[in-house]
Amino acid sequence: MSAFLEFAMLFAFGFSWPFAIAKTYRAKRVDGKSPLFMIIVIFGYFCGIAAHLVEGSKLWLCWVYLADVALVSTDLTLYFHYARRQKIAAEERTK
């Protein structure tokens, strides 16, 4: 039962990231996004993976963790891309 509940938690968290990614991609802006938050989330997912590897049980959940890491990493990559573009645009406006 605990594996199912952990899967449900990972699925719920993972389900929200495509919406965040799509919003960032459409808006091409990162206002209100926190890269530190996303890095902490990724760290937490890696801790979950490590826990399962150390235990040696429920290893199939590591794939769900990795899928979530991929989603958050995509949003983080978009953050840095669009933040850099915003910074360049702001510098050009002040010239």
pLDDT digits (tens, 9 = 90+) for 40-74: 999 999 999 999 999 998 999 999 999 999 999 99
The whole-chain average pLDDT of the chain stands at 95
Is 22 domain-assigned? no
Domain that holds residue 71: 36-95
Is 95 domain-assigned? yes
Contact call for residues 41 and 94 (beta carbons, < 8 A): no
Contact call for residues 61 and 6 (beta carbons, < 8 A): yes
* pTM of the complete model beyond 0.85: yes
Is 28 domain-assigned? no
- 79 closest CA partner among 10, 15, 23: 23
Contact call for residues 48 and 72 (beta carbons, < 8 A): no
Is 87 domain-assigned? yes
pLDDT for 94 equals: 86
Q: What total number of domains does the chain contain?
A: 1
Separation between Cα atoms, residue 5 and residue 27, nearest integer Å: 34
Q: Which residue has tokens 């826990």?
A: 51
